[in-house]
Amino acid sequence: MLGRNFFHDLLSFFCFSIHLFGGLLRTAESAYLYHYCLGGNYVPTTTYQTNLNSLLFTLSSSITINNGYNNATVGETPDTVYGSYQCRKNIDTNTCQQSCVRPGFNELALLCPNSYEAIIWYHRCTLRYANRSFFEIMEDEPSYTLIVNNELNNNLSNPHQFTKALVGLVEDLSRKATLVTGHDSGSGSGAGAGRTWLFATGKRNFSASDGDKIYGLIQCDSVITPKSCRTCLEKIKVDAGVDCYGKRNGEIMRPSCYLRYQSDDFIHIDVPSTTEKPAPSLTPYSSNNTTMTKPAKRKIKTSSMITIAIVISVVVIAIIMTTIIRMQLTTATNGHYLICLRRWIAENIMDDVDDMATAESLQFNFTTIKAATNNFSEANKLGQGGFGSVYKGALPSGQEIAVKRLSSSSGQGEEEFKNEVLLVVKLQHRNLVRLLGFCLQLEEKLLIYEFMPNASLDQFIFDPVKRKRLDWERRYKIIEGISRGLLYLHEDSRLRIIHRDLKPSNVLLDADMEPKIADFGMARMFKFDQLQASTKRIMGTYGYMAPEYAMRGHFSVKSDVFSFGVLVLEILSGKRINSFHESKGVDDLLTYAWALWKKGTALELLDPTLKENHSRGEVMRCIHIALLCVQEDMADRPTMAAIIQKLTNFSVSLQLPTSPPTYFVKKKGETSTSFGDTVDEEQYTVNDASITQLHPR
């Protein structure tokens, strides 16, 4: 017989499952925002669980609140549990306790069963517990930004201006909240004794219209110092300019600080915002609410009918929820890339909100690119590498494009995607390939470039027929153009960029044979006072890598200079770096060039197609400069600024080069390490180097 307990358990499970799969059953009053379950899991029925239950009961029942804050500790090491809550100042104590603290701790126990540590945010309070003491310690991780992507939240005519106003409002509120008197900076005791509120509210206009205002509320835990509060709120300010770019309503949560802002006044009336995700209804089904008055036989029939009805309802709702969740995951996955991209820009290269607007404007619609490439047809395919395939396409305007479709199976695909998009925000030069934009749709990550009709340099200098189109004058201009592009990366741009994979296939040629450096997937940014970095992941192409990078993982601007020297020798000779393995006594192009230089017959290096048409002085100077670039000691190699001076001013004297390195070079026919493959660290790394390290339409 199906009795009351069956229906009680079934309905409880039903309600809880719905909560887990999308939060469809939530009450507006609790105003749930987000939660994290942290620290791994403890074994149920242990002392820790007993202590945790006691702690949650104590805090839920407590009415002793100092400046909205309370904490408690239960148990002895190693099973001690620490817990706290912080109410918002604009909510009275009783309301906070009844509508937020008490139901909140109950919900946290359900959301994070067996978790050693957990935190949950509501509009009215923040609750947390852990197996470590966190009282009076400023913590800014984990964090979460809650934004609803709907027409109302995105409907701004000037998102740039709005975001600047939002960042300014956060700055104002941060100063206001931390300008307090009588704040004890000592350790204090229990429930924030001797502390004061670190809380502020305010508003700011974001346009000329008096009605266009942003209302904001910020708060830190009452037990941290004002200085610590300012540090936490500084992180929130960055989040506001990045995650909340052009969004009317949002909330940013960190363990020790919190921001809520809206374009309507929520401060003086405690109403749910447009961003909230209300807390689930956790009231258990009570059999006392129903009395059974029918005979037993009738009860069985009624029970069966109810069971069938419930099962059908569960199946229907599950189907609906699955559809909704799939749609939400699509948005969330793509949104995650955008937030990561924005955060990376903000932390590394964003001078102001203008850079974010530039990145946002580069987005392409996937349908447009799919049509432009004829659904990525084989006939449009230009080539393929470890990161993915490249296709030719044409936009509706008639503009020809090259589309790099990053492979979902490539481990470095996401990193390359991020690097390429971010660098275009800051880098613009005639000798760098121009990225027109990007596209994100679920697993699809596309990079859209200007189309180079003459493909890459390697398709000319190594082709016995096409190389004839590159006379000496053109080759010399290509060398000079590449050098100017590298100088821009190293010294003249707003950043300092180390390319790390300069080679003929990464130099594209436009219709006028003007060289453009491409493929910034492995590029790394340096601070202007930074000279060198190191990595355990050796990424690049054998033969073009400087010895200090190939052997020890050290890279700098001089690593690119080495690659440039190899590239110049290939342009001069028409021979690949690894094409000499069958020649007696010669291991590679560097060894060959050095041997000719020592014998005084360096001109023999020159491509035979140029023998009758070249400038002897320019050729010898290029060979001399290339050999200076590939010297084994990086300190002996010239900078790109010095190289350009030597190329363009023949009155500048050149020092004598030393011998190039004799280290491993992949032989012809072997697979080169390119497109982000990793060199065996045990074989080639001789010390423990430290690792250095978009929302679709």
Whether the Cβ atoms of residue 33 and residue 121 lie closer than 8 Å to each other: yes
Q: Which of 395, 417, 451 is the last residue before a domain boundary?
A: 451
Number of residues written out for the chain: 697
Is 348 found in the same domain as 473? no
Domain containing 58 equals 32-135
Helix locations, 120-198, DSSP H: 151-154, 159-178
| Same domain as 436, residue 464 | no
Q: How many domains does the chain have?
A: 4
The residues, any chain, with a CB within 8 Å of residue 33's CB and separated by 6 or more, are 121, 122, 123, 144, 146, 251, 253, 275, 276, 277
Contact in structure between 136 and 187 (CB atoms under 8 Å): yes
Tokens of 657: 């080069």
**Nearest alpha-carbon partner for 559 in 573, 539, 581:** 539
Q: Is 548 helix (H, G, I), strand (E, B) or coil?
A: helix
157 inside domain: yes
Pair (581, 473) in one structural domain: yes
CATH of the domain at 642: 1.10.510.10
Question: Do the domain assignments include residue 677?
Answer: no
**Stated pTM of the model:** 0.54
Of 501, 519, 560, 588, which residue is the catalytic one?
A: 501
Question: Does the structure show a pLDDT above 70 at 27?
Answer: no
Sign of the dihedral defined by the CA atoms of residues 119, 120, 124, 129, in that order: negative
Q: Are residues 483 and 467 in the same domain?
A: yes
419-431 pLDDT, tens digit each: 667 776 668 899 9
**Would 619 be classed as within a structural domain?**
yes
Q: Is the pLDDT of residue 385 over 80?
A: no
**CATH code at position 100:** 3.30.430.20
Kindly tell me if the per-residue pLDDT of 382 is higher than 60. Answer: yes
Query: Does the annotation mark 463 as catalytic?
Result: no
In a domain, 290, yes or no: no
Q: For residues 392 and 474, state if they share a domain.
A: no
Nearest to 630 by CA among 550, 565, 559, 554: 565
Does 404 show up as a binding residue in the annotation? yes
Looking at the structure, tell me whether residues 498 and 389 fall in a common domain: no
Is residue 685 included in any domain, yes or no?
Answer: no
* Most confidently predicted of 42-51, 75-84, 358-367, 410-419: 75-84
End-to-end Cα spacing for the chain: 55
Residues 6 or more apart in contact with residue 27 via CB below 8 angstroms: 278, 279, 280, 281
* Residue 605 covered by a domain: yes
Whether 21 is in a domain gets the answer no
> What tens digit of pLDDT does each residue of 104-149 get?
998 898 889 999 999 999 989 999 999 999 999 999 999 998 886 6
Q: Are residues 422 and 558 in the same domain?
A: no
Same domain, 436 and 509: no
One-letter-per-residue 3-state SS of 84-139: EEEECCCCCHHHHHHHHHHHHHHHHHHHCCCEEEEEEEECCEEEEEECCCCCCCCC
Per residue in 283-331, pLDDT (tens digit) is 332 333 333 333 334 344 556 666 777 777 767 766 665 555 455 444 4
Domain boundary among 262, 278, 296: 262
Kindly indicate the confidence band of residue 633, based on its pLDDT and cuts at 50, 70 and 90: very high
Kindly report the CA angle at 87 between 84 and 91, in degrees rounded to 5? 165
More confident residue, 688 or 354: 354
DSSP state of 636: G
